[in-house]
């Protein structure tokens, strides 16, 4: 689907906004842009993460970030892409920070956090690769965000590029070359 249609679909989706019990709503990439009426921030970067866990979902990561990390707004990421273990394979869960258009502490670099969209793929990509559905979704979502916010491929980063030496995120088995070959230049 063309990005213009993606945005149109997102507006339509906003009308059907339904929250799950934990407050996260699984969506596909064509409906991920709904931001609950908050104007979009001027995002400059997109940063890709893995959860470093075999399974999970936005609600589970939210609890970890809120109660173990003590981050006031919880879930640091804007989007979480499921792998079928704890969340639907290839689905997008939209975090509260995206709906409210606020930054999240997802990189360890405060300045970067202010201007970057954080996307987390569920999985431990030191041990395994993302599923095909996850790859399809991360490519579609990233391309759509690139289009919406005019973000070039140079500004689509893997977490370890920001925090080298501190993290391998999103893991050595994340198919970096394939991912970048499928993005908008």
* 15 CB neighbour count, 10 Å cutoff: 7
Rounded Cα–Cα distance for residues 39 and 55 (Å): 32
User: CB-wise, 86 or 171, nearer to Zn ion?
Assistant: 171
Q: What does the angle CA 182 – CA 164 – CA 74 come to, to the nearest 5 degrees?
A: 80
> To the nearest whole angstrom, how small is the minimum distance from the Cβ of residue 37 to Zn ion?
29
**Structure tokens that stand for 3 in this block:** 């990005």
| Shortest distance in whole angstroms from residue 10 CB to Zn ion | 25
- Closest contact distance (angstroms) between CB of 180 and Zn ion is 17
Residue 159 touching Zn ion (CB under 5 A): yes
Report CA-CA distances (Å) from 36 to 15, 33, 42, 100, 168.
10, 9, 17, 7, 33
Closest separation in Å from C-beta 1 to Zn ion = 28
Query: Which residue number, 62 or 159, has a Cβ lying nearer to Zn ion?
Result: 159
Applying CB under 5 A, the span of 12-20, 37-45, 87-95, 154-162 interacting with Zn ion comes to: 154-162
49 binds Zn ion (CB under 5 A): yes
Q: Which of 169, 171, 174, 179 binds Zn ion (CB under 5 A)?
A: 169
Cα–Cα distance measured from residue 104 to residue 23, given in angstroms and rounded to the nearest whole number: 17
Under rule CB under 5 A, residue 168 binds Zn ion = no
Answer positive or negative: Cα dihedral of 175, 80, 139, 143: negative
What does the binding site for Zn ion look like in residue numbers (CB under 5 A)?
49, 159, 169
């Amino acid at each position: 689907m063309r990005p213009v249609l993606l945005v149109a679909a997102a507006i339509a989706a906003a009308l059907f906004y339904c929250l799950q019990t934990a407050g996260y709503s699984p969506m596909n990439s064509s409906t991920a842009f709904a931001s609950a009426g908050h104007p979009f921030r001027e995002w400059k970067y997109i940063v890709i993460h893995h959860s470093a866990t075999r399974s999970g979902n936005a609600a589970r990561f939210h609890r970890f970030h809120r109660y173990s990390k003590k981050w006031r707004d919880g879930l640091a990421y804007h989007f979480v892409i499921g792998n079928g273990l704890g969340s639907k394979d290839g689905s997008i869960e939209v975090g509260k920070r995206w709906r409210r258009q606020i930054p999240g502490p997802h990189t360890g670099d405060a300045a970067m956090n202010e201007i970057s969209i954080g996307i987390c793929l569920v999985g431990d990509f030191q041990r395994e690769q993302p599923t095909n559905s996850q790859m399809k979704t991360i490519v579609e979502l990233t391309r759509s965000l690139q289009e919406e916010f005019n973000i070039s491929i140079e500004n689509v980063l893997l977490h370890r590029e920001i925090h080298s030496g501190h993290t391998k995120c999103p893991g050595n088995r994340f198919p970096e070359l394939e991912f970048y070959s499928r993005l908008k230049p």
